[in-house]
Structure 1
């Protein structure tokens, strides 16, 4: 499920600053990056189901592991984990309202934090 109109689409920011912001809000980078793209995930559990809020970006200056990388963010997505297949982000998935609202609140915190550093 795409979470549009979050204020994050097309935002460009220094990768190091974004990493600190995302970590402070509970997102995990883990191994979800390469030299051009990066993905931050936040796990949300609800009544035995597991959901992942994913925020992605790609490098517009430099490389992700280099100094002074600048990334451009794209539309965040929400997915549901299905054991053992993995996470599905399709529009056909059902997402409880409180999971969607939690996701939107987290993205709002990210957006506010980015605005404070830019």
Structure 2
């Protein structure tokens, strides 16, 4: 994992506004969300490992599953996951395919390849422009 300092840190927005801005450019809310925090993920590469830009967010006013929730953004980071090879290749009968359809990563925090770091930082700059350009920033609710 490589953290990247950003002016996005600690800024607050309506979650729905973030989704409307980020989904069209390829970001999705990652599977690791809870009632008080979550992540926007952008997959840069998924050939040998899963390389992504991850933008954490935390509920600032309300819970994530409530309408109008305002979230505070965390520090974006670059993340690499390496998945187990051969999970989909063995054609073994699985009695619970809906439950067992996703393989656990071999390494949830693999070394991020150096040749992708600048690309990841460019994606974060684009993310900053998209979010900070026209979106309403909410005053912090500390």
Could you state the TM-score of these two structures normalised by the residue count of structure 1? 0.81
Report deviation, 1:30.
4.8
Report deviation, 1:94.
4.1
Tell which deviates more after alignment, 64-73 or 74-83. 74-83
Match of 1:108 in 2: 125
Whose Rg is larger? 2
Query: Are residues 1:71 and 2:71 paired?
Result: yes
Alignment of 1:26-45 (within 5 A): 26-45=26-45
Match of 1:2 in 2: 2
Report deviation, 1:46.
6.9
Query: Are residues 1:117 and 2:128 paired?
Result: no
Select 1:89's aligned residue among 109, 115, 127.
109
Looking at structure 1, the residues matched to 39 and 13 of structure 2 have their Cα atoms a distance apart, in angstroms, of 14
Instruction: Kindly tell me the number of residue pairs found equivalent between the two proteins.
Output: 115
Name segments (4+ residues, structure 1) moved above 6 Å.
none
